[in-house]
Amino acid sequence: MRVVVTLFSNRAPQQTTLQRSLGPFQFFTIGFGAILGVAWAIVLGDWLAAAAPLGALIGFVCGGLAMLLIAACYAELATVLPRTGGDIVYAFELFGSVPAFFVGWFLVLMGVAMTSFEAISLAWLADAIFPGHQGYVVYSMFGQDIRIGALVLGAAVTLIIGAANYLGSHSSSRLQDLFTCVKASAVIAFVIAAWTAGTAHNLLPLTQPTSGRPLWVGALWIAATGPVWYGGFQIVPQGVEERRAGTSLRMIGWMTLLSVAAGIVFYCSVILAAAFVFPWKSLVTQPLPATAAIRAAFHDGAGSSLVLGAIVLGILATWNACFIWSTRVLVAMGRMQLAPPIFAATNRYGGPKFATYFVILIGLIGVSLGRGAIEPIVSMAAIALAGSYFLSCWTTLKLRHLRPDADRPFRVPGGTMTLRLIIGLSAAMALVSLIEPAARGRRIPLEWILLLIWAAAGAVVWHVARKRPERRL
């Protein structure tokens, strides 16, 4: 009872200052580390089956270019409104407290959902690499058995990452540097080995998907789901208040774009490498195509186990980045009194306090859902991200009219015409991500039900928060 009373108390937390220790390299590894996730290892076969090698590349290049334009909007906003909270601050500035609250509430869902996705994927990949070590079945959910080993592994890593974030940005960013560098090195080793061991004949046929649908349909699907594959760059503006002395706002803008550009290179490289080293039509029939491609690149030797192990470890880069994202969103909501102000509290290390506790708790619940929840988790994340992209791009245009003389160390090139194009692209992404679950043939998608439940919970939190007399940035 005391915890509940404290959580919803009107009393402001005593300390809300975040640690300032992030430099350009840390901003890059946070953004790129989030993009450099594990989704490619899980759904590589789906991409190739839907669009063939050429269509998959076209989809990722087109989706990546669209995301570069959206990232440019975030880079400009971060230099005009350099405050922790990112999308929430932008929505509050232009649209008021209600849209800002729900943007933040759904971004918290997105961040926590992706930490759960990484936890489930970690156990899945670990089982693929070291089969038979997951232990006995505890229960089943969403048509999948959930084993004791998966629960213990997911919970343990959740607590470790939570502890690192509790110790402040210096600790969490150094962890991010390590995870990102390890995984990037493993991916580079795989690409080099694949081009050495493979043959161009494995890429054929370049333009005949096995899904039975035209290539352009698969390429469009991949491009439209860009918010999931490239989501993570907006974590960079979240840390703008934690930049160390000498790190300019303009530099943060460029790190935002660089993380997306590196993501385009990454996705195209792993798709080409996998299809080059393993006949892609056979690859899509494998339980985990990425694992099969890596084993083929290293002739199933010790090198494949080393690279697979490094990639599994690299999952923690995205996991940690999403944890950083979720806690900073909660800090901003607490500061603005869009949520209980206790979320704004920081500890003696300069790290988020109660926000860290909350994300750990919800993350542990997500870990318990098992791999059957991966599809709805990804879909919910895409919907939340695409909606926030649309609002933030719209905010960029409106701020140009409302504050034409504001200092903008980074500006979206091309003027208002470019901004209108970006708004249209983000709106199309939001629409596709929302209706895509229904297009799979289900009457009422699980994603919609879960989003409605989360919105109802948010309405309760908002009802409590709106009683506070003052809301500020």
The Cα 416–Cα 400 span in angstroms is 8
Share of the chain above pLDDT 70, in %: 89
Once rounded to an integer, what is the mean pLDDT over residues 413-436?
84
The Cα 313–Cα 183 span in angstroms is 7
Eight-state DSSP code of residue 352: B
Q: In Å, what is the CA distance from 225 to each residue of 17, 40, 47, 376?
A: 36, 13, 11, 14
Q: In Å, what is the CA distance from 164 to each residue of 21, 252, 362?
A: 14, 23, 17
Output the pLDDT for position 56: 93
401 burial (CB, 10 Å; 0-12 / 13-18 / 19+) is exposed
> Could you write out the DSSP letters of every residue in 131-174?
TT-S-SEEEEETTEEEEHHHHHHHHHHHHHHHHHHHT-HHHHHH
**Report for 203-207, 330-334, 439-443: range of highest mean pLDDT:** 203-207
* Sign of the dihedral defined by the CA atoms of residues 121, 126, 128, 132, in that order: negative
Q: If we measure between CA atoms, which residue out of 96, 95, 98 comes closest to residue 106?
A: 98
Eight-state DSSP code of residue 346: B
Model confidence over 149-180: pLDDT tens digits? 888 888 888 888 888 888 876 676 777 777 77
Q: If we measure between CA atoms, which residue out of 258, 260, 212, 252 comes closest to residue 236?
A: 252
- Measured from the Cβ of residue 407, the count of other Cβ atoms closer than 10 Å reads 8
- Length of the chain, in residues: 473
Output the pLDDT for position 183: 80
Model confidence over 307-365: pLDDT tens digits? 877 777 767 777 887 888 788 888 888 888 887 888 888 888 778 888 889 888 888 88
User: Between these two residues, 98 and 179, which has the higher pLDDT value?
Assistant: 98
- Measured from the Cβ of residue 470, the count of other Cβ atoms closer than 10 Å reads 7
Q: Specify the 3-state DSSP secondary structure of 285.
A: coil
Asked if 198 and 278 touch (Cβ cutoff 8 Å), the reply is yes
Q: If we measure between CA atoms, which residue out of 429, 402, 427, 401 comes closest to residue 415?
A: 401
- Which H or E element spans position 467? none
* Sign of the dihedral defined by the CA atoms of residues 212, 213, 214, 218, in that order: negative
The two structure tokens encoding residue 225: 């789901």
Output the pLDDT for position 16: 54
Task: Give the pLDDT band of residue 4 (cuts 50, 70, 90).
Answer: very low
Output the pLDDT for position 9: 47
Q: Is the peptide bond before 205 cis (omega within 30 degrees of 0)?
A: yes
Half-sphere exposure of 188 (CA within 13 A, CB side): 7
Q: In Å, what is the CA distance from 83 to each residue of 30, 107, 194, 256?
A: 17, 16, 43, 15
Model confidence over 214-250: pLDDT tens digits? 888 888 888 877 777 887 788 787 777 777 777 778 8
- Measured from the Cβ of residue 215, the count of other Cβ atoms closer than 10 Å reads 20
Q: What is the mean pLDDT of the chain?
A: 80
Asked if 31 and 176 touch (Cβ cutoff 8 Å), the reply is no
The Cα 414–Cα 423 span in angstroms is 14
**Domains, the chain, ordered by start:** 15-465 (1.20.1740.10)
Once rounded to an integer, what is the mean pLDDT over residues 117-146?
75
Which residues touch 303 (CB under 8 Å, ≥6 apart)? 189, 193
Output the pLDDT for position 2: 41
